Structure 1
Amino acid sequence: MRFVFAMMMVLVLLAPVSGRAAESGAAWSAVRHGLSAMPLEPWRDGTSDKSFAAYVADTRAGLDAARTAVEPDAAKRAAQVELVAPRQWPLAEECGGTAKDGVLLIHGLSDSPFLMKDLGDALARLPGKCLLVRSILLPGHGTLPGDLVRPTAAQWKAAVRYGTDSFAGQVGRVHLVGFSTGATLALDLVLNGAPTAPPVASLILLSPSIGLTNRFPLHRIPFGFELFQAIMTAASGFGPEGHWLRIDEDQDFAKAESFPVMAPRPLMEVMTEVETSTRPLTLPVLMAFAAEDVTVDSLASLDFFHARVSNPDSRVLLYVAPATLAAQPDLYAARERRDHRIVCLHGLGGDDVGCAPARSPAAVTCPFGDQAGTCITALSHIGIPISPTNPHYGATGDYRNCLAYSSRKDWPRFCGCVTAEQRAGSALCRGVLPASGPVRLGEPTKDDIATNGPLTARLGYNPLFDRLVDKVADFLK
């Protein structure tokens, strides 16, 4: 009884922090926050699996039907479905129709395959590699934010296994490329799953969800998520808003901004299974993530790599701001000394490599770029697999992640931070005088958002994307 009471108190304390959905300014909508009729396992045909081409076609049809309620314009909806649906990239002409290896791209929680598109484009074009590149859509994604509560961990795992098995008879081996939750699912397949055919040759893990920065083990408490949701529902006046950690306008066609309470449960289950697996991880592993990541614990990823990844060809690309190195002068340097497979990148220059702070530190205000009125202070969780040329998330894209301001209902700064396209389409910005000034991009902290300093947005792309592609090309031997 004391344990249950203690858990209740913890959840009560958590509720005011997370239960801002009803106060965020965007309204709950039965259409947008309800459930669609999209099949959760569109690769299934009764008891057998469909061909990958049939899976792609049927998934697109399901996405189109599910998104009709929120995007009635058929042409615009078709263009968006094309981008968020799974796909296969054509082989380069030099391959003569024969692929050497397969590559499976696995997106993250609340995302869609669009977040992996830039990397897929680059890998499919690599000279001499002849990679057959495919992406999959995780169940519950790409439709409506409300669908994020529908899938189970088992269904996510089944989707990854299907995607891997879909290469059978076409390639001799497959490389798994996972972002965030997709990285955890890739790890789970090789650490806990039955052998695949074709076999998995290597793992490329981008911003892997190995340890979350705000992780409370609700899934380990009997009915923990249900209890948390009940408390939040009571706090919201027993309205449907209590089922959501946040409710936003969902202006991003490729990623849900609104986020249900129950959505993280499958991820936390998979993370636990990865953590407790005793199977050796002998495959080559390439990991790339930001030290300043506010979604996952970058130090947990480094510890996992050092303790569990034994293959000498494995590598870590750690993007770390000079200010972070200066503030903790031996933290990352010690890890580099202990494991020379770890490489720190602290700027755009070819010499900006190494985990030790500069001996004569100079104030580097914008180490990862300063152009078009934006200063890039650090890389972010969400931007690692995305090119600066991306038309949606890139340097001149039409979307910018300023959700930290909407959580605070700071509409002048929110409306000044987002792009002109977002501002024009936001009901929350009507009649609001936007704040002005340059925008700083990186991983915003609470202090960044709370102060009246520069406008700060979450960086949506990787300024070192081309170097990441080069590293991946070298890694895929």
Structure 2
Amino acid sequence: MDYINTGADIDFAKYESFPFNAAAQVHKLMKRINGDGKEIKFIPDVPLFVVASEVDQTIDTKRTLAILNKWHKANTRTTQNEDTLIYYGHWKKLDNVSQSVNIHIPECGPQLLCSKVLGISHNGVPNSPKNPHYGLNGNYKYCEHHFGDETYNACKTMPVAPIGEITSANLDQNPVLRRLTFNPYFDHMADKMNDFVKAALEN
């Protein structure tokens, strides 16, 4: 088999099917980063900027935080004070992250866009809600988790549908759910990234 799973492949910006080769390459890299096999022994002395979501169903957030913590504490680095984490989740899940990391958890109010989403996925993080393709009113609707099911067409055509991360709980409560393709905290993230880059350039 060439593909782990196949999709409709109607998104012009990226593939929807999941090829085995892509998974194999990522697996090889993860084994090195995680310390299995040939571990990466040299950690570059550059500041780290990480954005992670507690409920992401594709990225192993616990491992992401573990790697951040490990690299942050590396005694070969001098830029630890600039390491930054933006986290979409609860503080209690960050018990194992060093408190010397600059941690930002944006707040959400009842009238804000973030209050209308059911968790954030990694593929939504880099996109603005104003993005013409992936944004709130964009022309692309992520429904691949419904592909091959009768709910797929409903997901694609419903004028308004719940949006969020495709957790089991969310899918149980919402038979038709669009996966979030934008970041409701995008402006906050962009501001923090701008501050991070400025600080890195000054040092």
TM-score, length basis structure 2: 0.81
Aligned with residue 23 of structure 2, among 242, 247, 264: 264
Q: 1:401 — aligned with what?
A: 142
The answer on 1:440 being equivalent to 2:162 is: yes
Q: 1:461 — aligned with what?
A: 182
Q: 5 Å matches for 1:311-322?
A: 311-320=80-89
Larger Rg: 1
The C-alpha deviation readout for 1:406-435, integer Å capped at 9, x for no partner, is: 1xx322x211212x4xxxxxxxxxxxxxxx
Once the 2 structures are TM-superposed, how far is the Cα of residue 287 of structure 1 from its aligned partner?
0.6
The answer on 1:410 being equivalent to 2:149 is: yes
In structure 2, C-alpha distance between the alignment counterparts of 1:270 and 1:461, rounded to whole Å: 26
Structure 1 stretches of 4+ moved >6 Å? none
Contact map agreement 1:437 1:455 (CA 8 A) in 2: no
Matched residue type, 2:101: R
Once the 2 structures are TM-superposed, how far is the Cα of residue 439 of structure 1 from its aligned partner?
1.9
> What SS does structure 2 have at the residue aligned with 1:476?
helix
Q: 1:109 — aligned with what?
A: none
The answer on 1:345 being equivalent to 2:105 is: yes
> What SS does structure 1 have at the residue aligned with 2:13?
coil
Q: What 5-or-longer segments of structure 2 have no aligned partner?
A: 74-79, 199-203
Change (3 A) 1:367 1:342: farther
Contact map agreement 2:8 2:144 (CA 8 A) in 1: no
Which structure has more RCO (C-alpha within 8 Å, separation ≥ 6)? 2
The C-alpha deviation readout for 1:345-403, integer Å capped at 9, x for no partner, is: 25435xxxxxxxxxxxxxx7x97535xxxx30211110111111111100000111111
Q: 1:331 — aligned with what?
A: 93
Contact map agreement 1:281 1:309 (CA 8 A) in 2: no
How many residue pairs match? The answer is 188
Q: What 5-or-longer segments of structure 1 have no aligned partner?
A: 1-241, 350-363, 421-435
Query: Percent identity, aligned pairs only?
Result: 26
Q: 2:76 — aligned with what?
A: none
In structure 2, C-alpha distance between the alignment counterparts of 1:284 and 1:264, rounded to whole Å: 28
Q: 2:42 — aligned with what?
A: 279
Once the 2 structures are TM-superposed, how far is the Cα of residue 453 of structure 1 from its aligned partner?
3.1
Q: 1:290 — aligned with what?
A: 53
Aligned with residue 70 of structure 2, among 307, 322, 325: 307
Q: 1:244 — aligned with what?
A: 3
In structure 2, C-alpha distance between the alignment counterparts of 1:284 and 1:438, rounded to whole Å: 41
The answer on 1:473 being equivalent to 2:194 is: yes
Matched residue type, 2:40: S
In structure 2, C-alpha distance between the alignment counterparts of 1:306 and 1:391, rounded to whole Å: 36
Contact map agreement 1:367 1:376 (CA 8 A) in 2: no
Once the 2 structures are TM-superposed, how far is the Cα of residue 299 of structure 1 from its aligned partner?
1.3
TM-score, length basis structure 1: 0.37
Matched residue type, 1:264: A
Measured on the aligned residues, the alpha-carbon RMSD in Å equals 2.5
Once the 2 structures are TM-superposed, how far is the Cα of residue 270 of structure 1 from its aligned partner?
1.9
Contact map agreement 1:401 1:457 (CA 8 A) in 2: yes
Change (3 A) 1:344 1:440: farther
Matched residue type, 2:92: D
Contact map agreement 1:318 1:344 (CA 8 A) in 2: yes
